[in-house]
Structures are given as C-alpha cells and as structure tokens.
Structure 1
Amino acid sequence: MNFSSSGSNSTPVVVRDDLKTAIMKNMITVTLCVSINYVNATLVYTFMRHEFFKRNPRYILFIHLVINDIILMTVLTLIQVLSYVVYTLHVWLCMTLLIFALFSNFNNPMTLAVMAIECYVAVCFPLRHSQIITVKKTYITIALIWLISAQSFFPDVLVSLTTEHLDFFQSRVFCQNTTVFRIPGILLKNIIYNAVLMATVWLTLIYTYFKILFTAKSASSDATKARNTVLLHSFQLSLSMLTYMYTPLTTGLTYLFPQSVLAIRFAVIIIVSVMPRLVSPLVYGIRDKTFRKYLKKHLIFPMNFSGSGSNSTPVVVRDDLKTVIMKNVITVTLCLSINYINATLVYIFMKHEILKMNPRYILDIHLVINDIILMTLLTLIQVLLFQRASLTDG
C-alpha cells in the first residue's frame, strides 16, 4: 500500500517501511482479519447447521452480508500482505482479486437496503409479511444484487480486455483500481454510479426508518427493535461509505503531515476497510437473541473436559460466549503471528543463494519449517475438536 506519485501519469515510487514496522503492520492487519473472519465464519456455520435460519428471509440476507464481509476482508488483507512481500502483482492477478473485492463492496449497501425493507414490511404489514417476503423472493433479490454489482465494473473489465495490449496483463503493477483500469472516463463513471447507488440506499433507509418510527409510537416493542435495527444499518452504511473517502482522507492528511505518509495510509485503511466489518457480527450475531442462543452452541471451547476418574465419562465444561471468543482468537492469532514470522524467514532463505550454501542456515530453516508444521497442526487439531464438540452438542 506504500506508493506515491507526483502525477496521474507518473511512475509510482515505492516507499517502504522498515522490517520491524512492516511486520507489526501486517500482524495487526492479519490479526484483525482472522478475528473478524473467525466470528463471521462461526455465524455462517451456525446458519448452515439450523434449518430454522434457512427458512427465514431475514437471516438469509444477514448471512449474505456476512459472507460478503468475509470475502472483502480476506481479499483486502491478502492484497496488503502481498504488497509488503512482493510489492507488485501481475495485472491479471490483481484484476481477479479486485473483482471479488468490488463485488463484495457493492453488494453490502444494497443488502442493507433490502434488510431495511424487510424490517419495514414486518412492522408495517405484519399480516402480509409472509406473502411479501418469501425465501424464494429473497434468493432472487440476492441474485439481482450480484447482477447490479456486476454492471458496475464488468464493463471496465471488458473495455480493458479489448483495448489493452496482452503484455499489459503480464506486467507487474501496484494493485489498485487506477493502475489496473486505466481507460479514460472510468473514474467519472464510477463516481456517478457510486453516487446514484448510495443515494438510492440512503433514501431507502431514511424512508423505512421514519415509517417504522411512526408505527413504533403505537405498536409493540418489535417495532422499536426494528427501528433500532434500521439505525444500525444506517450506521453500518455510513462506515461502508468511508471506503469512498480513502483517497480524499489520505491526500488531505498527507498534505498536513507529509512525514507520516505511511502511518496515515495504514490507519486510513484500517478505519475504512476493517472497522465496518465489525458491525455485522454485533447486529445479529450478538444482539439478536435467537441467533445468539444457537451461536453459543457452536462457540464451545473444546479442550475443557473433566472427569472424576480415568474411566469416567468426560463432562463438558463450557465457557461463556465472551471467554470462548477470546480464547479462540488468542490461539489462532498466536499461530498466525508465529507462522508469519517463520514463513518470512523461510522466504528470505529461499531468495538468497548464499544462505542455501551455508549448513548452519539450512539446519536453522529445517527447525523453522518443523515449527510451522507443528504450530499449524496443533491449531488445526484444536479447531477440529471445537467443531467436533459443536456437532456432538448440537
């Protein structure tokens, strides 16, 4: 992520962090990614395990939102880590990663709008809700969301494929939209498309909120809960819109603090790309009582067994939800952090022939590789035991 240029047509200049800072930034990013994706993956697993959720359009839309968050977090983290390791990517690879990221980035605001409409129908038309909002219509709506998202950037891909020389796709660039999609007019088209999309979503949220608000004055607590949910959707959408503020924020802060350009870019990326992904687990995974009840069953820490004797039947001792999340995040984070450093050592060894000719370094790398294997297997066993305990309990 650390590139700068003096003009739109100038060659990007690499501005690199020192090794200690690069490792720290990547550990923070990977840790946040793994922590958020762990919780989101557990939400998806909980959804898939219970037919009740699969028959409820509200939870179907929520899981669609969560899956998009997982895709976006994974792709953005992968691009950042690769930018530190290899600095530049082949255009075809960068374009492939960006397609997944753009899909998820466009899907989320439209999904939030549809979820707000579902809340509006549930409160304002409770007797007709089951006829208006059905599972079949929900999946059709999701398909339309993906189709609309495709319309936003697939024309850019097709134009690039027909106008750019084949050598361009084999060249290496810093992975971002402006270096891959270089056709004049694309930037203006994207600004207009984003503005229309965001205006439509915001109008939908505002309309549904006030309709629910007026209904809530004389209705049950369900209307108040729906109103608060729409407010959370609005907050989540506001965070999602920060993505479009990346360039203005980075440019403005860099102008004010030119000596901190690398720190500014890293902080802005965390704020605009990572923070919005924290909201989804809170809205339904923790806040929703029904989902929380089932979620606890699949967040059992599997290593907590006790018995009164060697032949006694093990008794499962469960942690509370907060402790379970903390323990599992710590375990996976430690594994990834240690393996990241060890993998960097292996990469350095493989890149330099002088190290390969020294028996001392060969033995050191052999030790490091064994550490990677051991850490990975131990963590994998714990995760599998966790899933096994969940299946047995469920």
Structure 2
Amino acid sequence: MQSLRVNISSSSNQLLDVPIFIKVLLVQVLVGIFLYMNCLMIFTFLKKEVFREDTRYILFAQTLFVDSALIVFTDVLLIASFYQIRIHMICCLLICVVSSILTCCTPLTLVAMCLERYVAICMPLRHADISTSRTRFLGFLIIWSISSMSTLFTFIAYLSVVRPGALFSYVMCSMEIMLREEWQANARSVMLLLFFLLMILIIIFTYIKIMIAARAASSEKKNSTNKSLRTVLLHAFQLFLCIVQFLTPYIEMPFWKLDVMVFYNVRYSNFIVFIIAPRCLSPLIYGLRDEKFFAVLSHYAMCGLTGFSQLRSVNRK
C-alpha cells in the first residue's frame, strides 16, 4: 500500500512537471529566436564600416548587446526558479548586480537614441559636429555610470545588513534577494522613479521638437522626419514597458505568500511581456524598419544570395 502511494505521488509530481516543462521550452524557443536575430544583427553591424561610424547604429548595437546579455541572465534565473535550483550566494549576487545594471542601461540607451534623432532632425547642420567619437565615448560613460548608481547603492546597502555567513550559503536566486530591509526597497523605488521621470521628460521634449520640425519640413524631408517621429513613439512605448518591468518584483511578491504556483505563473507572464517583448522592439525599429541596415541584414541572412544592388548602394555611402 505504501509503495502504491509512493508511485501515485511520483506520478502526480511528473504530471505537475509537464506544464512547467512546456513553459520553459516555450521560453527557450523565444529566447533562441531572439538571440539568433540579435547575433545576426550584431554581425551585420560589425561587417560594415559605415554602420560603425554612425552614432545611431552604434547605439543600436549597444542595445542588441545589452538586451542579449540580459535575456541570458534572466533566463537562467527563470529556469532556476521553476526547477528550485539553489545557487551559491556570491554567484547569485554577481548575476543580480550585472542584470540590474543591464536593465537600467537599456532605457538610458533608448533616451540617447531619441536625443540623436532630435539632433539629426532639428539641428542637421550641427549633427556632424555633435555626433563625434568623443561625444559618443562621453555618452556611453554617462549611460553606464548612471546605470550602475542604483545597483551599487542597493548592493552596498545589502552588504551593510547581511550576515557574513550568509554569503557562503546556497539560495533560490532572484533580483529581490538584495532587498532584505523595507527601507532598501523604498530607497530603490524612489531612485528608479526619479530616474524614469527624467527620461520620460526627455522623450516628451524630443517628441515635441521633432513634431514641430515635421510640420515645418519641406515635402522632401517630411517622410524622414515623420519616420523619426514614429521611432521616438516606439522608443517611448519601449520605455513604458521597461518602467513596468521595474515594478514587476513588487507585483510578484504578494503572490509568493498567497500561492507559490500563482507566483510562478505571474513571474512567467511578466518575463514574456515585460522582458522579452520590449527587447524585440529594438531589432524591429532599427533592424527591419531601417532600409539601409535591412538591405545588408537580408544579404547576410540569405548567405549572400540576395540584396546585391542594395549592398552596393550601402557601400558607396
């Protein structure tokens, strides 16, 4: 009788594992497609010097790299969460710190892209003077420095309250592991709120300026200006999804106390909607909507069998 109960219990556990396996498999398929497209676009960027000298494409390449790395780290955490895999605390902290920096880097790069479009459309005569290698280096330094501020504050605050022995334990790793005290979570929330309010104001400013330029533009330049206007709108939508992503830990944690399975389902949905989805928009905005980049991308995607005329026109520019 006891062996029968054991068999029934093991069978029920296997049945419970089936939906989890399907969910994880679906995520791996989506992540695989996403990484393949990003790697192909990074390869396209590196192959053409004309892209490596243009600030717009350089910022686009950074989003591809940052988003790919973030997807890999968050995917590892999602799999570990679903299968209850414990990770050494130091490795967990390293993953959380890097993931947090990458998460902040994406919206800042989106803001930099909007500012680049603003300069290109509203100050075309000064665009070449402003968009230099020195300016790009300074911009990347600002982006990565600001991205690290909130994370380093959270990490230092965590080290100030954690027991030394806890650093050598094995834990269920998640981004919230560094928020042990309520004041840490509140301080992080305030920093992120100010951080995103500033970015939203910058995007609204660039949108209004480009919209004014679009109305005053001649018929020849109107198409280019309107396209830049739609690009800023898409970046604003991306930024909105990134903002919601920062709120997902506060949405998920109440479900942990209520029902573990509901918690995992909510985390799974948030991963697809607020982590994978917004990062699929960057390849769409610049990889597929940009005619020059798409011509080269299609050439390499088809192993050089198509796009010869478009490729020659890109090489001449």
TM range (shorter): 0.7 to 0.9
Shift of the alpha carbon at 1:284?
Answer: 0.5
Identity of aligned pairs, percent? 26
What stretches of structure 1 of length at least 5 have no aligned partner?
1-14, 302-315, 320-394
Which of 271, 274, 286 lines up with 1:284 in the alignment? Answer: 286
- Secondary structure, in 3 states, of the residue corresponding to 1:107? helix
CA distance in 2, matches of 1:58, 1:37: 21
SS across alignment from 2:125: coil
**Code of the aligned partner of 1:275:** A
Alignment CA distance shift 1:97-1:16 (3 Å):
farther
Distance 2:269 2:19 in 1: 13
Which residue does 1:271 correspond to in 2? 273
Shift of the 118–223 alpha-carbon distance from structure 1 to 2, 3 Å rule, reads: same
Look up the equivalent residue of 1:297 and give its one-letter code: H
CA offsets per residue over residues 106-159 of structure 1, 9 Å max, x none? 011111111111111111110111111213211221121111111111132234
- What's 1:118 paired with? 116
Partner of 2:47: 49
Instruction: Measure, in 2, the Cα distance between the counterparts of 1:55 and 1:131.
Output: 13
| Partner SS state of residue 127, structure 1 | coil
Work out which of the residue numbers 200, 217, 234 in structure 2 matches 1:232: 234
Q: Which moved more, 1:229-238 or 1:176-185?
A: 176-185
Contact map agreement 1:17 1:262 (CA 8 A) in 2: no
Q: Which has the larger radius of gyration?
A: 1
Q: Which residue of 2 aligns with 1:143?
A: 141
Name the residue aligned to 2:315: none
1:285-318 deviation line (CA, Å, top 9, x unaligned): 00001110111122125xxxxxxxxxxxxxx756
Answer yes or no: is the 8 Å Cα contact 1:56–1:135 preserved in 2: no
Name which of 17, 21, 24 aligns with 2:22. Answer: 24
CA pair 108-88 structure 1, distance change in 2 beyond 3 A: same
| Distance change (3 Å), C-alpha of 1:253 and 1:176 | closer
Amino acid at match of 1:286: L
Distance 1:257 1:216 in 2: 52
Letter of the aligned partner of 2:72 in structure 1? T
Structure-2 separation of matches of 1:17 and 1:278: 33
CA distance in 1 between counterparts of 2:305 and 2:45 reads 24
Distance 1:228 1:29, change over 3 A: same
Determine the C-alpha separation between the residues in 1 that align with 2:60 and 2:264: 35
Residue number in structure 2 paired with 1:58: 56
Q: Give 3-state SS (helix, strand or coil) of 1:65's partner.
A: helix
Unaligned runs of 5+ in 2: 1-12, 308-317
Inter-partner Cα distance in structure 2 for 1:69 and 1:178: 20
* Cα offsets for 1:140-183 (capped at 9, x unmatched): 21121111111111132234335433321111222123323424
Alpha-carbon spacing, 1:52–1:17, altered in 2? closer, same or farther (3 Å): farther
Greater per-residue helix proportion: 2
Q: What corresponds to 2:200 in structure 1?
A: 202
Aligned to 1:12: none
C-alpha deviation, 1:88, in angstroms: 2.2
CA shift at 1:251, angstroms? 6.3
Residue 244 of structure 1 pairs with residue 263 of structure 2 = no
Contact in 2 for aligned 1:91/1:180 (Cα 8 Å): no
Contact 1:229 / 1:283 at 8 angstroms: preserved in 2? yes
Q: Give the length in aligned residue pairs.
A: 291
Q: Distance in 2 between matches of 1:167 and 1:259?
A: 30
TM value normalised by structure 2: 0.84
Shift of 1:250: 3.9
CA offset at residue 254 of structure 1? 8.9
Which stretch of the first structure deviates more once superposed, 167-176 or 206-215? 167-176
Instruction: Give the Cα separation in 2 of the matches to 1:261 and 1:293.
Output: 44
Q: Does the CA-based 8 Å contact 2:154-2:188 persist in structure 1?
A: no
Higher RCO by CA contacts (8 Å cutoff, separation 6 or greater) = 2
1:300 aligns with 2:298: no
Q: 1:187 to 1:260 in 2, by over 3 A?
A: closer
Tell me how far apart the structure 1 counterparts of residues 260 and 71 of structure 2 sit (CA, whole Å): 28
Paired residue secondary structure (2:216): coil
Match for residue 128 of structure 1 among 100, 106, 126: 126
- 1:8-37 CA-to-partner distances (Å, cap 9, x unmatched) read xxxxxxx99822112111111111111111
